[in-house]
Structure 1
Amino acid sequence: MLECPPFDYLMVLPRLRVQNANAISSPLTHGFPSMTAFLGLMWALERKVQAQGLDVQFNAVSVVAHDYGEQIHKSGYTNSFHLTRNPMGKDGKPAAIVEEGRIHLEISLVFAIRGSELREPSRAQEVAEQVSNLVSSMRVAGGTVLPGQHRRWQAPYIEPFTGDAQTQRQMFNRLKMRLLPGFVLVERSDLLEQRLIDIQKTEQDATRLDAWLSLSRVNWTWEGSENNAEGRWLHDRQGWLVPITLGYGALTELQAPGSVANARDSTTSFCFVESVYGIGQWLSPHRVQSAEQMLWYPDSQPNEGLYRCRNDYRSEETPEFEYDFD
């Protein structure tokens, strides 16, 4: 079974303010950028870092959402995106530009990294600041990173993730408390499988799509007889569950570079794909038991036509107030 790649340090870029990020993560989901966007940011950042001569390897990424503002207009039960007015063309008509839904975000990025020059704390801090400066000039899920307020809690930092299990646990407990208040996105494929089993007890022809749609909404059932005034309505909500995109599945064979007309890149192989869907859950960081449970990493299987993001979250009971910072 594929697991999170090994890492020696966690780099945190706290409280980034992103304006006009892409709120439409797929044809069926919206409300927060896809994790594929943040993995793409990680790869682009690694290339920029190594181009500056830094020996830093990026293996996984996590996103903690502190605040958001989806750019929508509410009218009853209907929400509409705020759209911009495109400039007129020479023919007097608006340009044929497909508008994207936009969202303002305040997020913290956590990167799992390795690097030989991070052993010295002073050097590690310099690298963190250099990486932060690079991110400020990049697009995050299509959005613009706004200048920070240069407050102490917005300063980037690197935490060593070495030593024995007890040392790593204490370090992670300190780190995740610094990410509060906020919510981290994890994958809940276990709930999807369990919902499929439950549905198939009454509907044998049910598929994973039926289970996914069931978990994507709040299902209400009446407990009690129809004429019993003592009955009550019950819902099946299990935490803050959301439908998410996990990556892409191939629809065609890999095409040679330049063989597909109007492709953006004529030097890279091309493949038509569709979105791969799953179920995610927003959790407070203090409910995550290890760094691996909050990190996302790539899983590319070209022979199977599957390019997806993975997360190793496993549901466990969280002991109350089990935090030892000594």
Structure 2
Amino acid sequence: MALTHNSYLVLPRLKVQNLNTISSPFTWGAPSITAALGFMHALQRRLPKDWKWMFTSVGMVIHDFEPQVNGDWVKKFNLTRNPLGKGGETQGIIEEGRAHAIVSLVFGVFALGQQVDENQNQQRLGDISSIVNTMRFAGGSIIPHDHFSQLPLFFMEGEETNELVWGKIKRSLLPGFALLSRDDLLIKHTQYLQSINANATALDAWLDLSRINRHCVMEIEEKDGMHSEKIKWEIYRAAGEAGWIVPIPVGYSALSERYETGVVNNTRDSRVAFRFVESMCSIGQWVSPHRLFDLTDLLWSSVTDHQLGIYRCVNKNSLQEFN
């Protein structure tokens, strides 16, 4: 049975250097939500077991994002050849997209009913800060800081009203943009394209929502009894899809059967079952936290279905469509 959180842990303004900005085979930009969930599980494994904390979900807010690219119209990643081979010859380049970013993470935590005084709570937050400073986020290095305002924050539900807790967390996240799921837009736009063309697929809708489209409009002008045709180019995104809409990876879909432990050689962990997968993509939206009505709108959790071969991250806006 899935646990529901009764507490919130906020890691405000983590400075991350050289994180991986190629989030899937099809997308690049801000780190994927799968990276945030992976960081959540890695942090969970480093916490002392006697705390009896279980992380259930995570939200990601980007405050600053600086991709390491060059060029004016066509952007290219700044790449390096390393290490040098014998005799000084250079190795072939493997494309790696990097970026510097300032990221805040909000965790939904299930804390097993234990009373912790304020001194113990501050000690724990200091321990968490020390642990986080030794970790990596999305392949990037977390730069330690000792500013008091950047220390982790912890809130227990029930100590104050949810409105007060949410208000404190929102203030700690501003200015910034939170990533939300918009599976509903993808479904709606797929249905719209299929009403025009029965052969349209979800991939067509995803591509249409992921780009700025240009189309030609012919205008007829009348002057002194003469008609002239004028071509006008219009730039638009899909009608009704206002906001900062972006293509995002949301998990993985199975390509093969599920192999038992030890069947496939050279796996990362031979003690767990193995499956070949590919990236699963959807549509997301960046929203300022002050526009959210509830803290749960921000949180993502993982859903696993071995029969369907789906391993994906779900947000409050995508739960209904997934179920």
Question: Would you call these one fold, judging by a TM-score over 0.5?
Answer: yes
CA shift, 1:304, in A, is: 1.4
For residue 36 of structure 2, what is the aligned residue in structure 1? 38
8 Å contact kept, 2:64–2:101: yes
Partner SS state of residue 124, structure 1: helix
8 Å contact kept, 2:10–2:105: yes
Q: For 1:265 and 1:91, how far apart are their aligned partners in 2? A: 37
Cα deviations by residue, 1:301-320 (Å, 9 ceiling, x for unpaired): 11211100000038xxxxxx
Q: For 1:157 and 1:241, how far apart are their aligned partners in 2? A: 30
8 Å contact kept, 1:125–1:158: no
Q: Which amino acid aligns with 1:264?
A: R
For residue 29 of structure 1, what is the aligned residue in structure 2? 27
Distance 1:118 1:35, change over 3 A: farther
Distance 1:8 1:121, change over 3 A: farther
8 Å contact kept, 1:249–1:305: yes
CA shift, 1:119, in A, is: 4.6
Q: 2:220 aligns with which of 227, 236, 240?
A: 227
Q: Which amino acid aligns with 2:31?
A: P
TM-score (norm 1): 0.86
Q: Which amino acid aligns with 1:7?
A: H
Q: Which amino acid aligns with 1:242?
A: V
Q: Which amino acid aligns with 1:185?
A: L
Q: For 1:126 and 1:157, how far apart are their aligned partners in 2? A: 12
Is 2:84 aligned against 1:84? no
8 Å contact kept, 1:222–1:234: no
Alignment of structure 1 residues 46-125 onto 2, 5 Å: 46-50=44-48, 53-76=50-73, 78-90=74-86, 94-95=90-91, 98-115=94-111, 116-117=113-114, 119-125=116-122
Is 2:207 aligned against 1:203? no
Q: Which amino acid aligns with 2:182?
A: R
The structure with the largest alpha-carbon Rg is 2
- Structure 1 residues not aligned, in runs of 5+: 315-326
8 Å contact kept, 2:80–2:93: no
Partner SS state of residue 303, structure 1: coil
Is 2:144 aligned against 1:147? yes
Alignment of structure 1 residues 129-278 onto 2, 5 Å: 129-148=126-145, 150-162=146-158, 167-220=161-214, 226-228=219-221, 233=234, 235-236=236-237, 238-278=242-282
For residue 225 of structure 2, what is the aligned residue in structure 1? none
How many residues align structurally?
A: 306
Q: For 2:53 and 2:85, how far apart are their aligned partners in 1? A: 46
Distance 1:114 1:126, change over 3 A: farther
Q: For 2:57 and 2:38, how far apart are their aligned partners in 1? A: 11
CA shift, 1:47, in A, is: 1.0
Q: For 1:14 and 1:297, how far apart are their aligned partners in 2? A: 20
CA RMSD of aligned residues (A): 2.5
CA shift, 1:88, in A, is: 3.0
Distance 1:232 1:72, change over 3 A: closer
Q: For 1:255 and 1:268, how far apart are their aligned partners in 2? A: 9
Task: Name the structure where strand makes up a greater proportion of residues.
Answer: 2
Q: Which amino acid aligns with 1:18?
A: V
CA shift, 1:96, in A, is: 6.3
CA shift, 1:109, in A, is: 1.0
